[in-house]
């Protein structure tokens, strides 16, 4: 195996490790939300520091490969895609941390009926992140295209949550703080799904050299 | 001038052109909001396509430089920073488009008192974007550090808007839709300021080779 190939295998492994941490952060932040588990929420917030640290490491790794091996063609596209995917994973970690922050805030506000849609959204978004990472590892553009299509279902669920929150506020305006936190969690999940879509688009670019973002997902 | 230097000058010019478009989009989206000017809002939404197109162009330019000139050290850092700054500018363009979308939605909902804080936030965020771009062009890390500090003022203003919106909903729950759109605009502006902060951090990295993100701005 050429030196650069070994480096690229290691880079992919490192990105996958960040991906695993990020997936765990999403799933734990939602579990913490559902169970009102402040201790778990605290752990999610702490794990974000590890994600940030690894993001910097992956970026330095990418720069090292660019400087030492001066890759071209497919290898170059892979390293550039890795830089962007790394960035998106870090943002997903931040969003999970934001969800975890809401848990602490909701804790002081008595029980809420968390809409079932939130769980649906979270499951969909988590699945999209997992699939987008699988697509990265296997260079699987068919899976990447599937991720892009799944984003619509998350957007639809987000709109349903938005309407429920609005209706709830009109009926019980005194619960506005709590309902707005639910709304805010649903927005964070929507953005996690957007980031998974970005990753999927980077996979298509990495494999096919074609920049598909800003194009309809029917493409 | 070496070939690569000429390419880098052109790359910087191109990024500045995207930056100018993005700055205009912010300022027009806020003007459209204040004046309830749907026609202007439409123009902002249309200009986002141009920004998206240029983002792809800049990215291709960066890849070309990496592949043809295989830059190292400061040149390499500059190209990698350009990739990320380009990405952030495109996201700012999207946020301006989101603000413009709210104008159309607010138009059907009768007059609102747009909090003065929204204008303050928008002015601050726009200034941060302008300064971060000046920092890119001049490699000015002192200015970049100033941008990082200004972000706190935007966050504070955002919290004031949030509280006003909550209070408003409690007093007039029937105006919840409209007040939530105001809230949402203030969040978009906050995120524009965050992106300007990212750009400033990339400038510090580009010039000094030091990754300062995830560190306190006291650094």
**Maximum CA extent, chain A:** 66
Task: Give the minimum alpha-carbon distance from B140 to chain A in angstroms, rounded to a whole number.
Answer: 22
Q: What span, in angstroms and rounded, lies between the C-alpha atoms of B127 and B136?
A: 14
Q: How much is the ipTM here?
A: 0.85
Contact B23/B126 with Cβ under 8 angstroms?
A: yes
- Picking from B86, B214, B216 by the largest number of A CB atoms within 10 A of its own CB, the best residue to mutate is B214
Is residue A213 a part of any domain in this protein? Answer: no
Is residue B217 a part of any domain in this protein? Answer: no
B85: closest chain A residue by CA: A84
B49: closest chain A residue by CA: A214
Residues 6+ apart with CB under 8 A from B107: B36, B38
Q: What is the mean pLDDT of each run of 10 residues along chain B (219 residues)?
A: 89 95 95 91 95 95 93 92 95 96 77 82 95 94 97 95 93 90 94 96 89 67
Q: Which of B67, B174, B183 sits opposite A170 (nearest CB)?
A: B174
CB contact under 8 A, B52 and A174: no
Is residue A73 a part of any domain in this protein? Answer: yes
Task: Give the minimum alpha-carbon distance from B72 to chain A in angstroms, rounded to a whole number.
Answer: 5
In chain B, residues with a C-beta closer than 8 Å to the C-beta of A80 are 62-63, 66, 83
Is residue A46 a part of any domain in this protein? Answer: yes
The pLDDT, as a whole number, for residue B112 is: 67
DSSP B138-197: HT-HHHHHHHHHHHHHHHHHHHHHHHHHHHHHHH-GGGHHHHHHHHHHHHHHHHHHHHHH
| Contacts with B, A 43-62, CB within 8 Å | 49, 52-53, 55-56, 59-60, 62
Q: What is the DSSP letter of B112?
A: -
pTM confidence score: 0.90
CB atoms < 10 A from the CB of A1, how many? 8
Is residue B216 a part of any domain in this protein? Answer: no
Q: Which of A67, A176, A180 sits opposite B76 (nearest CB)?
A: A67
Residues 6+ apart with CB under 8 A from A86: A15, A18, A55, A58, A59, A62
> Which of B94, B96, B112 has the alpha carbon at shortest distance from B177?
B112
Q: Note the pLDDT tens digit of each residue in A160-183.
A: 999 999 999 999 998 898 899 899
Where residue A167 sits, what CATH number does that domain have?
Answer: 1.20.58.220
Q: B214: phi > 0 → left, psi -120 to 50 → alpha, else beta; which?
A: left
Contact B133/B199 with Cβ under 8 angstroms?
A: yes
Alpha helices in chain A (DSSP H): 3-35, 38-69, 73-107, 116-138, 141-171, 176-208
Interface contact A166, partner B, CB < 8 A = yes
Which single residue is written with the structure tokens 């478009």? B21
Is residue A198 a part of any domain in this protein? Answer: yes
Q: Which of B84, B170, B180 sits opposite A87 (nearest CB)?
A: B84
Q: What span, in angstroms and rounded, lies between the C-alpha atoms of B5 and B90?
A: 25
In chain B, residues with a C-beta closer than 8 Å to the C-beta of A63 are 76-77, 80
The pLDDT, as a whole number, for residue B217 is: 57
In chain B, residues with a C-beta closer than 8 Å to the C-beta of A177 are 166
Q: What is the DSSP letter of A162?
A: H
Is residue A216 a part of any domain in this protein? Answer: no
Q: How many structural domains compose chain B? A: 1
The pLDDT, as a whole number, for residue B99 is: 95
Q: Which of B70, B77, B180 sits opposite A70 (nearest CB)?
A: B70
Q: What is the DSSP letter of B108?
A: T
Q: Note the pLDDT tens digit of each residue in A198-210.
A: 999 999 988 988 7
CB contact under 8 A, A59 and B166: no
Q: What span, in angstroms and rounded, lies between the C-alpha atoms of A25 and A73?
A: 34
Ranges under pLDDT 50 in chain A: 219
- Picking from B45, B55, B80 by the largest number of A CB atoms within 10 A of its own CB, the best residue to mutate is B80
Is residue A194 a part of any domain in this protein? Answer: yes
Q: What angle do helix axes B73-107 and A38-69 make, rounded to 10 degrees?
A: 130
Q: What span, in angstroms and rounded, lies between the C-alpha atoms of B78 and B139?
A: 10
The pLDDT, as a whole number, for residue B93 is: 97
- Which two three-digit tokens encode residue A121? 């959204």
Can you give the residue range of the structural domain that contains B39?
A: 3-208
Q: Which of A76, A176, A183 sits opposite B66 (nearest CB)?
A: A76
In chain B, residues with a C-beta closer than 8 Å to the C-beta of A49 are 214
Q: What span, in angstroms and rounded, lies between the C-alpha atoms of A52 and A75?
A: 25
Burial state string for B56-94 with b = 16 or more CB within 10 A and e = fewer than 16: eebbebbbebbeebbbeeebbbbbbbbbbbbbbbbbbbb
Contact A184/A102 with Cβ under 8 angstroms?
A: yes
| Contacts with A, B 108-127, CB within 8 Å | none
């Amino acid at each position: 195996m050429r030196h650069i190939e070994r480096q690229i295998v290691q880079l992919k492994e490192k990105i996958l490790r960040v991906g695993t941490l990020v997936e765990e952060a999403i799933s734990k932040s939602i579990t913490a939300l559902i169970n009102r588990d402040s201790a778990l929420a605290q752990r999610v917030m702490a794990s974000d520091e590890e994600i940030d640290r690894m993001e910097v490491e992956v970026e330095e790794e990418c720069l090292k490969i660019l400087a030492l091996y001066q890759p071209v063609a497919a290898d170059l596209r892979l390293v550039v895609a890795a830089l962007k995917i790394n960035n998106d994973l870090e943002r997903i970690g931040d969003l999970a941390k934001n969800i975890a922050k809401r848990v602490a805030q909701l804790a002081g506000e008595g029980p809420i009926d968390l809409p079932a849609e939130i769980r649906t959204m979270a499951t969909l978004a988590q699945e999209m992140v997992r699939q987008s990472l699988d697509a990265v590892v296997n260079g699987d553009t068919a899976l990447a295209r599937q991720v892009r299509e799944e984003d619509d279902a998350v957007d639809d669920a987000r709109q349903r949550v938005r309407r429920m929150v609005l209706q709830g506020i009109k009926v019980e305006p005194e619960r506005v703080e709590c309902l707005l936190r639910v709304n805010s969690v649903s927005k964070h999940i929507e953005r996690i799904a957007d980031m998974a879509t970005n990753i999927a688009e980077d996979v298509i670019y990495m494999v096919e050299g074609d920049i598909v973002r800003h194009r309809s997902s029917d493409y």
